C-alpha cells in the first residue's frame, strides 16, 4: 500500500511542479518522481552569494572540464557557479544521428532553476496557424481555451511587463515592468516611426517579482534584486522556479510525496483494465527496481526524456511505445531557431547611463506571416535586443587605471532572433537498438535538423534586423550566423503532439492519450507546433488546465 497513490507525476520541473501543485491543492495524494537529487530552496544554492573573484577562474571553467563536456559547455549559463545544476555529457549519453545539443538538468526543480525566465502568451494566431498554413495538424484547442489558465499561472508565478494591447501578443496579468534605457527608447521610437507602428517594440515580460503580491509573499518569495545570479538559485525567490514556488506549496498541503534519485524506466499498462497502472523505477545509485501505482499519471520529464520514457514503455497492447498506435511517437520534434544575431554601435548618449542588472531585454513580437502569409517562408520570429555601454579602458597603472576602468565606453546594441521551426516527420527521436545507459534503458537517438524554411527565415531576420538598426541610426552593423545545432535553444518540443484525430496525434484536447485516458503529457512533448514565443508559460498553463480537468474527472470516477 505504501507504493499506492492517487496520482504520479514524473518530473519536478516547470510543468511537473505545476501538476503537483494543482493535484495536491485538490486533495489528491500525489507522488512526484525525480531522477535527480533533492534541491531545496535556500538550502541547496551553494554559490548564490559568491562573487566572481571568489571562484578560482572568476566563474570560468577549466579547459579540461570543457573538453570533457563539449555539449553542455556550449550553453551560455554553464560556468563554475552553475555546473552543479547541469547534466554532464558522460552522465547520460545519447546518440546524435544529426548534431543536437541536449541540455539537461536532473534535480528537483529541473531546468526551472536555469531558465531565462522570459514569458509571453501565445495569441490566437499560433493556435490557428497549422490549420491556416497547412503544416503539422490542427491544434485541438484555441487561445480562448487557454486564456483563463494563462491568467491562473501568471498570478501565481508573477510576471512583470506592460499592458501593451497587442493582438499578436496578448497581455499577461502583469506586475510593474522593467524600464528601457535611453538608447533602447530611442531605437523603439525610430522603429515605430519608420514602420508606422507595424513593428511594436516592448519591454520584455519575465517571471520576476518587481512588486510581490500577497500570493507571492504566501509562497515565501520576495522582490527581485536584479542581481543576474538567477542560474545559481535565487535566495529571495525573486524569479519563479519550482523549488521556490510550486513544489514547497504542494508540500505544505500534506498531499505530496517526493521520490528523488529515481529514474523512471517505463509506464506500466494493465491489459485487463485498459489503463496504465503505474510506473517502473530504477534507483539511480543502487539500480534496484521498484513499481509505484496510481489512478492517473502525468509524464513531465521534459520533452525528450518524456519521449524516451514513452518509447521505452512497451507492452503487448503497445509494442512500439506507449499509446503509439499510429507510429508517430517521437516524430515531429521542433525547436526554436536562435542562429541569427545582429550587432551595432550607437553614437551619442554618452552623458547617460543605466542602473542595475535588468533580467530581461527589449522584445518585438513576430511581424512576419501573422495576419496573413506575406513571405516565401512559413511562420516568423520574435526579436529581442538590448543596448549597453562597454567597459572602460585598461590602459595605465594605479590611479590612472582605476579612472580609465571606471569610465564607460560607447554604446553597443545586440539583437537576436527566436524563430519558429515547422514540425516535420523526419525530425524525430527513437531508441537505440544496441546501446543502453547505466540504468538499463536504451539510449535516445536524436535525428533533428534545419531545413530550407529555417534558412529563409534566418536570412530574413538578418536583413530586417540590419535594416531596423540602420533606420534607428546605429553604426558598424554586423550580421552573424552562429550555425549552432538544434537543441541549444533549450526549447525542444513535440514528439507526443496534441490533436483532434487519433490517426495523426497522440493526445486529445485535455492532454490525455487518445487510447489511454489516465495518462497525461503536459510538458514540451505535447506541443503540436512551437510558435515564436518563449514556451514555458504555455507549458505551465496547459498543465494547470489538464490537471484541473483530471481532478474533476477523478471526482466523477471517470478516471
Structural domain includes residue 498? yes
Helix (H) or strand (E) holding 477: strand 475-481
Cβ–Cβ under 8 Å, residues 519 and 323: yes
Q: What is the pLDDT of residue 264?
A: 98
How many angstroms from the chain centroid is the CA of residue 375?
28
Is 302 in the same domain as 331? yes
Helix (H, G, I), strand (E, B) or coil at 443: strand
- Residues facing residue 259 across a β-bridge: 33
Using a 10 angstrom Cβ sphere, with 0-12 exposed, 13-18 middle and 19 or more buried, the burial of residue 279 is buried
Q: Are residues 288 and 183 in the same domain?
A: no
Residues of the chain with pLDDT under 70: 1
Q: Are residues 103 and 11 part of one domain? A: yes
Q: What are phi and psi of 287, to 5 degrees?
A: 70, 10
CA-nearest of 490, 489, 464 to 479 is 464
Last-in-domain residue among 484, 501, 534: 484
H-type alpha helices, 353-504 = 398-405, 452-471
Q: How far is 322 from 520, CA to CA, in rounded Å?
A: 12
At residue 118, the 3 state secondary structure works out as strand
**100 and 11 inside one domain:** yes
Locate cell 518509447: which residue?
Answer: 311
Residues 52 and 125 reside in one and the same domain: yes
Tell me the three cell numbers of residue 241. 522556479
Number of Cβ within a 10 Å radius of residue 290: 14
Which of these, 451, 450, 458, 449, lies nearest to 383 by C-alpha position? 458
Within a domain: 469: yes
Position 40 scores a pLDDT of 97
pLDDT tens, position by position, 276-321: 999 999 999 999 999 999 999 999 999 999 999 999 999 999 999 9
What is the predicted pLDDT for the residue at 1?
Answer: 64
CB atoms within 10 A of CB 515: 17
Cα distances from 216 to residues 263, 332, 344, 480, 536, in angstroms, run: 32, 38, 39, 41, 19
Residues 387 and 524 in one domain: no
Residue 407 lies inside a defined structural domain of this protein: yes
Residue 344 and residue 282 share a domain: no
**Residue 213, helix vs strand vs coil:** coil
User: Is the same domain home to 312 and 356?
Assistant: no
Distance CA 399, CA 404 (A): 9
Q: Are residues 177 and 306 in the same domain?
A: no
What pLDDT is attached to residue 2? 78
The domain in which residue 281 lies consists of 1-161+241-335+424-447+491-559
- Cell representation of residue 280: 517502473
Domain of 77, CATH number, reads: 3.50.50.60
Q: Taking all residues of the chain, what is their mean pLDDT, rounded to a whole number?
A: 97
Torsion of CA 502, 504, 508, 509, to 10 degrees: -140
Q: Which of 484, 507, 533 is the last residue of a domain?
A: 484
DSSP 492: -
Closest CA to 498 of 510, 490, 489: 510
What is the Cα–Cα distance from 21 to 251, expressed in whole angstroms?
8
Domain end call among 484, 501, 533: 484
pTM for this structure?
0.97
CA distances from 434 to 276, 315, 431 (A): 27, 19, 9
Say how far apart CA 3 and CA 92 lie, in whole Å.
27
How many structural domains are present in the chain? 2
Within a domain: 132: yes
Does 79 fall in a domain?
Answer: yes
372 and 437 within one domain: no
User: Could you report the per-residue pLDDT of 368-396, keeping only the tens digit for each?
Assistant: 999 999 999 999 999 999 999 987 777 78
Under a CB-based contact definition with an 8 Å cutoff, are residues 493 and 535 in contact? yes
As a whole number of angstroms, the distance between CA 419 and CA 372 comes to: 17
In this structure, is residue 45 part of a structural domain?
yes
Q: Please check whether residues 107 and 178 belong to one and the same domain.
A: no
Burial 80-101 (b: 16+ CB within 10 A, else e): bbbbebbbebeebebbbeeebb
Question: Does residue 353 sit in the same domain as residue 325?
Answer: no
Give a yes or no: residue 37 inside a domain. Answer: yes
In a domain, 211, yes or no: no
d(CA 381, CA 231): 26
Nearest Cα residue to 541 out of 21, 151, 209, 166: 151
The SS3 assignment for 256 reads: strand
Task: Give residue 212's pLDDT.
Answer: 98
Amino acid at each position: 500500500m505504501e507504493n499506492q497513490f492517487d496520482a504520479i507525476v514524473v518530473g519536478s520541473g516547470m510543468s511537473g511542479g505545476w501538476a503537483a501543485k494543482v493535484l495536491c491543492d485538490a486533495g489528491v495524494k500525489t507522488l512526484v518522481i525525480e531522477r535527480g537529487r533533492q534541491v531545496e530552496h535556500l538550502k541547496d544554492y551553494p554559490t548564490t552569494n559568491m562573487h566572481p573573484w571568489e571562484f578560482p577562474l572568476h566563474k570560468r571553467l577549466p579547459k579540461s572540464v570543457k573538453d570533457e563536456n563539449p555539449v553542455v559547455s556550449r550553453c551560455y549559463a554553464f560556468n563554475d557557479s552553475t555546473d552543479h545544476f547541469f547534466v554532464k555529457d558522460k552522465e547520460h549519453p545519447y546518440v546524435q544521428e544529426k548534431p543536437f545539443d541536449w541540455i539537461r538538468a536532473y534535480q528537483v526543480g529541473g531546468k526551472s532553476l536555469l531558465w531565462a525566465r522570459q514569458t509571453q502568451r501565445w495569441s490566437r494566431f499560433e493556435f490557428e496557424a497549422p490549420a491556416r498554413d497547412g503544416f503539422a495538424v490542427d491544434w485541438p484547442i484555441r487561445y480562448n481555451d487557454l486564456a483563463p489558465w494563462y491568467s491562473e499561472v501568471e498570478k501565481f508565478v508573477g510576471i512583470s511587463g506592460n499592458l501593451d494591447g497587442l493582438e499578436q501578443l496578448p497581455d499577461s496579468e502583469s506586475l510593474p515592468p522593467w524600464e528601457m534605457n535611453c538608447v533602447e527608447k530611442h531605437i523603439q521610437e525610430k522603429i515605430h516611426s519608420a514602420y508606422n507602428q507595424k513593428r511594436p517594440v516592448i519591454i520584455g515580460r519575465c517571471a520576476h517579482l518587481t512588486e510581490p503580491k500577497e500570493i507571492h509573499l504566501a509562497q515565501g518569495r520576495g522582490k527581485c534584486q536584479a542581481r543576474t545570479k538567477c542560474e545559481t538559485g535565487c535566495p529571495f525567490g525573486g524569479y519563479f522556479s519550482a523549488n521556490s514556488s510550486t513544489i514547497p506549496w504542494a508540500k505544505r498541503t500534506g498531499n505530496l510525496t517526493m521520490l528523488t534519485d529515481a529514474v523512471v524506466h517505463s509506464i506500466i499498462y494493465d491489459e485487463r483494465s485498459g489503463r496504465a497502472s503505474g510506473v517502473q523505477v530504477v534507483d539511480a545509485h543502487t539500480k534496484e527496481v521498484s513499481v509505484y501505482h496510481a489512478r492517473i499519471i502525468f509524464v513531465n520529464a521534459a520533452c525528450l526524456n518524456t519521449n524516451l520514457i514513452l518509447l521505452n514503455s512497451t507492452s503487448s497492447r503497445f509494442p512500439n511505445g506507449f499509446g503509439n498506435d499510429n507510429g508517430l511517437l517521437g516524430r515531429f520534434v521542433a525547436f526554436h531557431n536562435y542562429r541569427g544575431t545582429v550587432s551595432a554601435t550607437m553614437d551619442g548618449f554618452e552623458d547617460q547611463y543605466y542602473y542595475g542588472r535588468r533580467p530581461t531585454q527589449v522584445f518585438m513580437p513576430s511581424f512576419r506571416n501573422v495576419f496573413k502569409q506575406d513571405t516565401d517562408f512559413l511562420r516568423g520570429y520574435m526579436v529581442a535586443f538590448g543596448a549597453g555601454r562597454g567597459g572602460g579602458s585598461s590602459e595605465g597603472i594605479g590611479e590612472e587605471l582605476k579612472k580609465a576602468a571606471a569610465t564607460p565606453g560607447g554604446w553597443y546594441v545586440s539583437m537576436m532572433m527566436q524563430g519558429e521551426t515547422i514540425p516535420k516527420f523526419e525530425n524525430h527521436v527513437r531508441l537505440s537498438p544496441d546501446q543502453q545507459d547505466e540504468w538499463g534503458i536504451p539510449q535516445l537517438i536524436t535525428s533533428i535538423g534545419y531545413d530550407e524554411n529555417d534558412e529563409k527565415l534566418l536570412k530574413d531576420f538578418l536583413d530586417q534586423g540590419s535594416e531596423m538598426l540602420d533606420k534607428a541610426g546605429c553604426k558598424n552593423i554586423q550580421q552573424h550566423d552562429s550555425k549552432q545545432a538544434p537543441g541549444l535553444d533549450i526549447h525542444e518540443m513535440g514528439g507526443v503532439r496534441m490533436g483532434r484525430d487519433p490517426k495523426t496525434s497522440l493526445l486529445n484536447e485535455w492532454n490525455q492519450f487518445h487510447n489511454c485516458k489516465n495518462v497525461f503529457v503536459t510538458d514540451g512533448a505535447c506541443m503540436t507546433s512551437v510558435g515564436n514565443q518563449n514556451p514555458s508559460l504555455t507549458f505551465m498553463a496547459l498543465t494547470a488546465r489538464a490537471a484541473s480537468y483530471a481532478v474533476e474527472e477523478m471526482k466523477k470516477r471517470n478516471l
